[in-house]
A and B are shown apart, each in its own frame.
Chain A
Amino acid sequence: MDKPVLEVNHLKKYFKTPAGQLHAVDDVSFAIEKGHTLGVVGESGCGKTTLGRTILRLIEPTSGEIYFNGEDITKLKKDNMKAIRRKMQLIFQDPYASLNPRMSVSEIIKEPMIVNKMCSSKKELDEKVKELMELVGLAPRLVNTYPHEMDGGRRQRVGIARALATNPEFIVCDEPVSALDVSIQAQILNLMMDLQEKKQLSYLFITHDLSVVKHISTEIAVMYLGQCVEKAPTEELFAHPRHPYTKALLSAIPVIDISQRGKKPELLTGEVNSPVNPVSYCRFYSRCKYACDKCKEHSYELKEISPGHFSACHMNFTGEIE
């Protein structure tokens, strides 16, 4: 097994709010190998975005370790961190809001290279921009256009080119296709997978769309209220979801199959609880149809229930829920 590019151990991020401690990310651990993708799924407010940002230290973690190529980056000083950031990039959800409207395409793609002093001459810089634009499938004629002149798909390509400008090894993709139409979404997904193959990139792919995550990920982590409740290789997770929340989540997706019609999905009752001062036992307890008194005796623990397959439900440990 290769050494993982990124390893995260017991990462926590709490925010102070007037109502109490908000547990945005609570004890999350995982590792991503070179050229692999970890998909992070969950509903809004479960801490997916905070997780992505905390890993890049755009938000300082409350506690926990983040190893990038074997180095714990939570202990790095600002200057050293800057050098590491070149290797870790972020693609944002909203291609409309994440590009500066007053900069042209070439200026946007150039900026990270200028900031990191990667090119010695203006000519080299222009060459690099041309290369990157070709890589992400942007026509050379668009070099001087501004974001407002482009559609969402092209804007997202600019965002990807910008992320690739510093030759990163690891990219946090925060819902990169959620704002796009399906036909454009498919184009961008194909592009991201091609780039991954070409450059051996590792992705942390954050999304709420389960069909997208299944398509692109090698492994999937399901989050609920800041905690990872189940983690397994993609095929395994979809074939044998074990945690009650994952089961409900998977059955809630409307499948494009008319023969499935009329089949009642496993409906969850109620809504996502508040992440402020959460309960000490299973956070899914109040919505779980399997909930019993024993659930209150177990605190959070992610256990391996079959090779590579982790779950946080104590009933999975004993085999009560298959």
Chain B
Amino acid sequence: MLNDVSFSLNNGETLGLVGETGAGKTTTALAIMRLLPKRTGFITGGEIEFAEEGNLLEKNEEIMKAIRGHRISMIFQDPMTSLNPVIRVGEQIKESFEVHMPDLSDAEMEKKVDEILEMVGIPASRKREYPHQFSGGMKQRVVIAMALSCEPELLIADEPTTALDVTIQAQVLNMMNELKKKLGTSMILITHDLGIVSQNCEKVAVMYAGSIIESGTAEEIFTKDKHHPYTVGLFGSIPDLNKVTDRLSPIDGLMPDPMDLPDGCVFHPRCPKCMEICKTKVPETVSLGGEHLVKCHLFGGGEIDG
């Protein structure tokens, strides 16, 4: 369940969407793509403005189909399950050209497939192989190749490297950044790894139980002192490689059930700085200067310092 999620992204920027399991990161991505399940996924309000297209929520399925995979595309978390095991890798990449650029001749499409494979560092000669012949890192490269095939303006990457080993993760992230620069793509990078965010994103939004509880530029999130207590807890939970800590300072308790969210601030049952007002009133989004926004009563009207 998502509640009042707002953010904006300029050309060529990367937004890091951070949060734990169940925070609503993937739901946000699917909502933008208009891919939420039909029976259960309702968007009850709000707008999704994309480029000159206007509000995506008002588009019909025909138009969305043309946008999806062409102008906005998505990389899914698990490369093992997002490829079709019985279709050759090259064919799967070609499919997006067949759908979005039907005017191209077959030879032109094949040429484009070769180009995009080389671009992500896979020899074009391997396009006749099946996904099971590829390693995890290479499968993820194929998925990235598919997502970038039509040179989208916006790329949504949902935990693109979570299933990969660190050395392969470094390769894939490096490659994604290079391609992003080359093609000028904007990106929404969904992850739970604050390290990846600090190294790759210009903007950051921290999600908790379906809300963005803090957002700002990477500098503001990683260097400023004032933060939402959840962000503080998230940072305290991760062992710091540069510091020796005897004990971690985790957040007590558990993520609330999205079917039964607490009254007031969604974080109040776990918050070490919880006040009376937090239990009853949903906090407003407060600006801490610049682009730094926090949804917390601690900073309400600037009376109390965090």
Interface membership of chain B positions 247-279, coded 1 if the CB is closer than 8 angstroms to chain A and 0 otherwise: 111111011000000000000000000000000
* Chain B residues near A151 (CB-CB < 8 A): 254
Tell me the complex Cα distance, A279–B97, Å: 42
- Cβ contact within 8 Å between B236 and A186: yes
Closest residue on chain A to residue B236 by CB atoms: A186
Tell me the complex Cα distance, A249–B200, Å: 18
Determine chain B's interface SS by DSSP, over half rule: helix
Tell me the complex Cα distance, A215–B245, Å: 7
Q: Is B169 at the interface (CB under 8 A from chain A)?
A: yes
* Chain A residues near B251 (CB-CB < 8 A): 183, 186
- Cβ contact within 8 Å between A254 and B237: no
- Cβ contact within 8 Å between A212 and B20: no
- Cβ contact within 8 Å between B165 and A215: no
Total residue contacts A-B, CB cutoff 8 A: 119
Binds B, one of A95-103, A164-172, A265-273: A265-273
* Chain A residues near B234 (CB-CB < 8 A): 182-183
Tell me the complex Cα distance, A249–B168, Å: 10
Q: Is B52 at the interface (CB under 8 A from chain A)?
A: no
Tell me the complex Cα distance, A272–B164, Å: 12
Q: Of A186, A253, A264, which is within 8 A of B241 by CB?
A: A253
Query: Which residues of chain B from 215 to 240 have a CB within 8 Å of any chain A CB?
Result: 218-219, 222-223, 233-240
Binds B, one of A2-10, A29-37, A187-195: A187-195
Interface membership of chain B positions 135-152, coded 1 if the CB is closer than 8 angstroms to chain A and 0 otherwise: 111100000000000000
Given contacts A190-B250, A193-B247, A252-B169, contact A183 B198 (CB under 8 A): no
Q: What's the minimum C-beta distance from B59 to chain A, rounded to whole angstroms?
A: 35
- Cβ contact within 8 Å between A267 and B171: yes
* Chain A residues near B240 (CB-CB < 8 A): 211, 256
Given contacts A187-B250, A210-B241, A215-B239, contact A254 B199 (CB under 8 A): yes
- Cβ contact within 8 Å between B167 and A181: no
Q: What's the minimum C-beta distance from A65 to chain B, rounded to whole angstroms?
A: 31
Q: What's the minimum C-beta distance from B172 to chain A, rounded to whole angstroms?
A: 10
* Chain B residues near A252 (CB-CB < 8 A): 166-167, 169-170
Q: What's the minimum C-beta distance from A253 to chain B, rounded to whole angstroms?
A: 6
On A, residues with C-beta under 8 Å from B are 43-44, 151, 153, 181-187, 189-190, 193, 208, 210-212, 214-215, 235, 238, 248-249, 251-258, 260-261, 264-265, 267-268, 271-272
- Beyond A44-B136, A187-B252, A254-B199, 14 additional contacts (C-beta under 8 Å) are A184-B250, A185-B250, A186-B237, A186-B248, A190-B247, A211-B239, A211-B241, A238-B241, A249-B166, A254-B200, A255-B242, A258-B218, A271-B138, A271-B168
